[in-house]
Structure 1
Amino acid sequence: MRFLDEVHPLTKTNKLSSGYINRAMEILKQQHPEIGGLYCCTMGGSLTFPQANGPQWMQIVHDGSDHWVLVAKGFSQPNYVLVYDSMAGSNWRSKHILSCMSSLLKTPKKEMTYVIKTCQWQGNGFDCGVFVIAFATSLANGQDPALLLYDPHELRNHLDNCITSGELSPFPSTLCRVKRTRKELVVSESVFCHCRRTAYMLPSREWKMIECEQFMEWFHTMCIDNFPVNENDPWLCKVCKS
């Protein structure tokens, strides 16, 4: 996982570490304080993102393997969480990113609905971090990244100049005049518990879940204070017990 705090020099082919991603989000937050989210990206490693505040928010999220993705809400389709992934395929479903999204959204509904946007694909295996910063900068400046065609040969030079100057400006791009063959996908994912997270769990007891027999809802050990010693015993949540 690329969770390193230092901002390493940008080369032609290096993958962006968390230090570089965090610095970019810090600059965006300074320039656009009205936009929520933009938390330290390393929170995603432990799935501990807080709920994002405000009508518009965005967050660059690591997938737990070796890839960066931008998630956002309140922009071109305000009713959905938008997913901008420069490597998204037709069967996109990253359990780790979906869990992070659900924490940021914390919807009171039974499902979280999101849209896989048809943004530009990267042409190599190392530019995902550069693309997500370009996507985030476009969104923050009122542009929809799905409608833009970025110049891959200029992205790194532009990013390097922005980080050096401490100001992120829109990346070199033109309007995409050719309709992309991929279609936007609208997908729903069930969420549970008081925390309104997806069913994805980290391998520890705190993440184990138990179902309330009456309410028919699942809860995490860490989110309740009356988890039974024997998790196979019948159990009622506090609301149903009172």
Structure 2
Amino acid sequence: MKNTDLPTKPDFVPPVKNVLKDGAEERQAPREDLPVIVIRPASHNNGVVDESGNSAMAEVGPSSSDSYEEENVAEDKDLAVVKSSTPLSLGKMLTYNDIQAAQNLLRRQYPALQGLEDPVFGLYDVGFAKLTGKGLQIHHSGSGTMHWVLSSYTDGQVCLYDSLGVAMSKSLQIQLCQSYSGFADQETNVLAVLVPEVQHQWDAEDCGLFVIAWAVDIAEGQDVSKVVYDEMKMRSHLEMCFKEEKLRPFPRLTSRRWRVGPTSAHQISLVCRCKHVGRLGRMERCKACRRIFHVSCLAASPPRDGTWACGDCAV
């Protein structure tokens, strides 16, 4: 996938690096030109309203800002599918528009699901809206790998599904906090994220196909850790779904994954105690204690040197 296929990353999204709990420091990405943002209210399916009254939509793909805005305005009233702008070519990763088209279909087919917001929200200060119930979200991992992953909240658990099984980047951890901080342990301020062992992709460009396939099955109540998809048919199946404007379960092989690996757990430490509802906005990781905090909780102005400290460590 080319860099032009996805929105440019903002300042706070770091380069790719394996990030574990209390991991080593990451380099800050240099500033790049940011895409145009179209402001509109948050989707009603998140169960919350942006207190600032703002959310963001990036203009991407070959269409002009006018045509893109026409296709995406008034989400509360119009859940029309945003068509994939180009055919799903073999050997190419799904673009932002492809992912957004799939999420629009999911919202229309499963209106009770929360989340399913534009993936670009998580890469900008606006952030994802907090989930309060069952939901799904496709994320761009925020790293140089241009990788798509899926998160979910079902049965009281936050889960992350990754067809490559790579370590979480700082950006992805922040995105997960934006969506699921409401489900963190209130005593320890730790967000537990389960990472089930799932089918891995053979083709280097198929991560987007897997996240959409998982999203459909999870919405249908399936345990995707036991599913074996027919990777050779996944792309043509998605093309047909786009033509019919309805997502259907992806083709499976006759065999099932009887030997399912263990589910790993990842803990993300939080320090935000503001009980802010709606969109948390920008979140950062304290360079002293390594916990993630909500920037607007700070009484002081942002540091000029880019060294962020949470309220506990700044005292």
Q: TM-score normalised to the size of structure 2? A: 0.61
Task: Provide the C-alpha distance between the structure 2 equivalents of 1:157 and 1:82, rounded to a whole number of angstroms.
Answer: 28
Task: State the Cα deviation string for residues 159-179 of structure 1 (Å, max 9, x = none).
Answer: 000011110000011562430
Query: What pairs up with 1:64-83 in 2 under 5 angstroms?
Result: 64-65=142-143, 66-74=146-154, 78-83=155-160
Q: Tell me the CA shift for residue 27 of structure 1.
A: 0.2
Task: Provide the C-alpha distance between the structure 1 equivalents of 2:6 and 2:225, rounded to a whole number of angstroms.
Answer: 27
Matched, 1:101 2:176: yes
Q: Tell me the CA shift for residue 186 of structure 1.
A: 1.8
Instruction: Tell me the residue number matched to 1:59.
Output: 137
Query: What pairs up with 1:1-242 in 2 under 5 angstroms?
Result: 1=3, 2-3=5-6, 5-6=60-61, 7=84, 8-46=86-124, 48-53=127-132, 55-65=133-143, 66-74=146-154, 78-89=155-166, 92-107=167-182, 109=186, 110-174=189-253, 176-180=256-260, 182-194=261-273, 207=284, 220-224=294-298, 226-227=299-300
Q: Tell me the CA shift for residue 222 of structure 1.
A: 3.0
Query: Quick check: 1:106–1:196 contact (8 Å CA) kept in 2?
Result: no
1:131 partner letter: F
Task: Provide the C-alpha distance between the structure 2 equivalents of 1:195 and 1:100, rounded to a whole number of angstroms.
Answer: 18
Q: Tell me the CA shift for residue 82 of structure 1.
A: 0.6
Task: State the Cα deviation string for residues 133-155 of structure 1 (Å, max 9, x = none).
Answer: 01101111121211100000110
- Across the aligned residues of Structure 1 and Structure 2, the Cα RMSD in angstroms comes to 3.1
Task: Provide the C-alpha distance between the structure 1 equivalents of 2:197 and 2:295, rounded to a whole number of angstroms.
Answer: 38
Q: Tell me the CA shift for residue 210 of structure 1.
A: 9.6
Question: SS at the partner of 1:121?
Answer: coil
1:46 partner letter: Y
Moved over 6 A (4+): 228-232
After superposition, the Cα gap between the structure-2 partners of 1:165 and 1:115, relative to the gap in structure 1 and judged at 3 Å, is same
Q: TM-score normalised to the size of structure 1? A: 0.78
Task: Provide the C-alpha distance between the structure 1 equivalents of 2:206 and 2:180, rounded to a whole number of angstroms.
Answer: 27
Task: Provide the C-alpha distance between the structure 2 equivalents of 1:116 and 1:218, rounded to a whole number of angstroms.
Answer: 20
Query: Quick check: 1:84–1:119 contact (8 Å CA) kept in 2?
Result: yes
Instruction: Tell me the residue number matched to 1:201.
Output: none
Task: Provide the C-alpha distance between the structure 2 equivalents of 1:129 and 1:236, rounded to a whole number of angstroms.
Answer: 38
Query: Quick check: 2:274–2:297 contact (8 Å CA) kept in 1?
Result: yes
After superposition, the Cα gap between the structure-2 partners of 1:34 and 1:208, relative to the gap in structure 1 and judged at 3 Å, is closer
Q: Tell me the CA shift for residue 195 of structure 1.
A: 6.6
After superposition, the Cα gap between the structure-2 partners of 1:196 and 1:129, relative to the gap in structure 1 and judged at 3 Å, is farther
Task: Provide the C-alpha distance between the structure 2 equivalents of 1:137 and 1:149, rounded to a whole number of angstroms.
Answer: 14
Task: Provide the C-alpha distance between the structure 1 equivalents of 2:89 and 2:302, rounded to a whole number of angstroms.
Answer: 53
After superposition, the Cα gap between the structure-2 partners of 1:186 and 1:230, relative to the gap in structure 1 and judged at 3 Å, is closer
Query: Quick check: 1:147–1:176 contact (8 Å CA) kept in 2?
Result: yes
Question: SS at the partner of 1:81?
Answer: strand
After superposition, the Cα gap between the structure-2 partners of 1:236 and 1:88, relative to the gap in structure 1 and judged at 3 Å, is closer
Percent same amino acid among aligned pairs?
27
* Structure 2 gap ranges (5+): 8-59, 62-83, 277-281
Q: Tell me the CA shift for residue 196 of structure 1.
A: 8.0
2:271 partner letter: F
Task: Provide the C-alpha distance between the structure 1 equivalents of 2:179 and 2:243, rounded to a whole number of angstroms.
Answer: 30
Query: Quick check: 2:198–2:225 contact (8 Å CA) kept in 1?
Result: yes
